Structure 1
Amino acid sequence: MEHALIISNVVLWVAVLALGAISLALARQVGILYERMMPVGALMIDKGPAVGTIGPAFELNALDGRRVKVGGISPSGRGTLVFFLSTTCPVCKKLLPLLPSIQAREAATDIVLASDGDTTEHAAFYKKLGLSQFPYVLSQELGQAYQIGKLPYAILFDEAGTVRAKGLVNSREHLESLFEAKDRGVASLQEFVHSEKHA
């Protein structure tokens, strides 16, 4: 009987050590896969004005009556982040509360909310979310000029109206990646990661 207990104890320890080794091997593989499929920021859809070009300029009235300039030379000498959204987009609703903290961090950049559709519906949406510090413009022409096909989408302009970064933004990291791409002087973080891998 004692001999059987010793054998079963040894077998159990061998099984525990084998499972530990398997767990370490799997953890290493997850790390390798994460490195290969690393999140690389906002997905830049290759439509609309290219990064590095001056975008079409628009002067629009915001819902609160402010006059807002999108594209072209900024009268305030500041950059602009245009956040394209829809009142029915759940990801947009998730990201909108993050904009004040991004504005605080990127103090040299103005944020403009953009959409199109019924003014009454958008005014109620704007008031409900309490984002009155950001101008909210409605313009179908703006979306068409920048060829916005999917939402939420953001375009980052510098003070001269040059498109510095753009992309589909589904998380805070995607929004922040636009500023990172601008700081690194690349069109997108995908481009940066790709160039680093081949350097």
Structure 2
Amino acid sequence: MSTLGIVIVAVCLIVTTVNLILTAVLFRQLGLMVMGSARGADDSGISIGRKLPALDLIDARTGADVDVHGLRRPQLVFFGSTTCHECAEIYPDIRYLEDHYDLRVVNFLFGSDLADVVSYAGARGVKGPVVVATEGLASAYDVDVSPFAFVVDERGLIVSKGLLNSRGRLIDMLAPVQRVEFDKEAVRENVA
């Protein structure tokens, strides 16, 4: 192979590598942890207007049963990961909502094990039930990405769903069940 051919192959490999790195960085910046799907983030999840499946769920911290049906009040069902920076960034806003609004948050957290999930939840000040997320649970809820959330109304129906990686997105998702405003003092905490 000629020197020119070797240079062309080398340039192609470098361009391909840079493209892959930039694509990975872009997905990370968007807060996406793709779990094996080519669908768009907001296409994940059980359809709006349906109920979440009735599954046997256990709170990892208390051992109590977790029911996502029949509560007669709005719920945010949040799928996050202990390794997801965007998930950690949204928790101060979720805690604010729990403190100031009649909203129950059920947290499904992917982690390396039970201790990892419980430790992460404690460090983030998670108040609602914490369920250790598994591939089986993600499949049952048809969730392919995190941070992802469902908003369930007082009838138990999904009224919104999608990628949840910003305060603005959280406000928009909750609009069908609760008008939400953040105080000027509700500043984001450092989650680094």
Asked if TM exceeds 0.5, the reply is: yes
The match for 1:63 is: 60
Aligned-residue identity in percent: 31
The match for 1:114 is: 108
Contact 2:45–2:162 (CA under 8 A) maintained in structure 1: no
Amino acid aligned to 1:61: I
> RMSD between aligned alpha carbons?
2.1
The match for 2:160 is: 165
From the superposition, tell whether residues 47 and 95 of structure 1 become closer, same or farther in structure 2 (CA, over 3 Å): closer
Contact 1:84–1:115 (CA under 8 A) maintained in structure 2: yes
SS in structure 2 at match of 1:155: strand
Amino acid aligned to 2:56: E
Structure 1, residues 163-187: CA drift from partner, whole Å, max 9, x if none? 1100101111111111114569xxx
> Aligned pair count?
137
Alignment of 1:43-62 (within 5 A): 45-62=42-59
Amino acid aligned to 1:172: R
The match for 2:190 is: none
Amino acid aligned to 1:115: L
Give the distance between the partners of 1:129 and 1:183, measured in 2 at CA: 24
Report the alpha carbon displacement of residue 149 of structure 1 after superposing the two structures with TM. 1.3
For the pair 1:89 / 2:113, whether they are aligned, the reply is no
From the superposition, tell whether residues 129 and 183 of structure 1 become closer, same or farther in structure 2 (CA, over 3 Å): closer
Contact 2:78–2:106 (CA under 8 A) maintained in structure 1: yes
SS in structure 2 at match of 1:111: strand
Report the alpha carbon displacement of residue 69 of structure 1 after superposing the two structures with TM. 1.1
Alignment of 1:166-185 (within 5 A): 166-182=161-177
Amino acid aligned to 2:132: L
Give the distance between the partners of 1:174 and 1:128, measured in 2 at CA: 23
For the pair 1:137 / 2:134, whether they are aligned, the reply is no
Identify the structure with the greater helix proportion: 1
Query: Which of the pair has more CA radius of gyration?
Result: 1
Contact 1:86–1:151 (CA under 8 A) maintained in structure 2: yes
| TM-score, normalised by the number of residues in structure 2 | 0.64
Give the distance between the partners of 2:44 and 2:92, measured in 1 at CA: 27
The match for 2:20 is: none
The match for 1:23 is: none
Give the distance between the partners of 1:111 and 1:183, measured in 2 at CA: 13
Give the distance between the partners of 2:47 and 2:169, measured in 1 at CA: 18
SS in structure 1 at match of 2:145: coil
Report the alpha carbon displacement of residue 103 of structure 1 after superposing the two structures with TM. 2.0
Runs of 5+ unmatched residues, structure 2: 1-39, 180-192
The match for 1:188 is: none
| TM-score, normalised by the number of residues in structure 1 | 0.62
Runs of 5+ unmatched residues, structure 1: 1-42, 185-199
Contact 1:85–1:151 (CA under 8 A) maintained in structure 2: yes
Give the distance between the partners of 2:177 and 2:41, measured in 1 at CA: 13
Give the distance between the partners of 1:111 and 1:177, measured in 2 at CA: 16
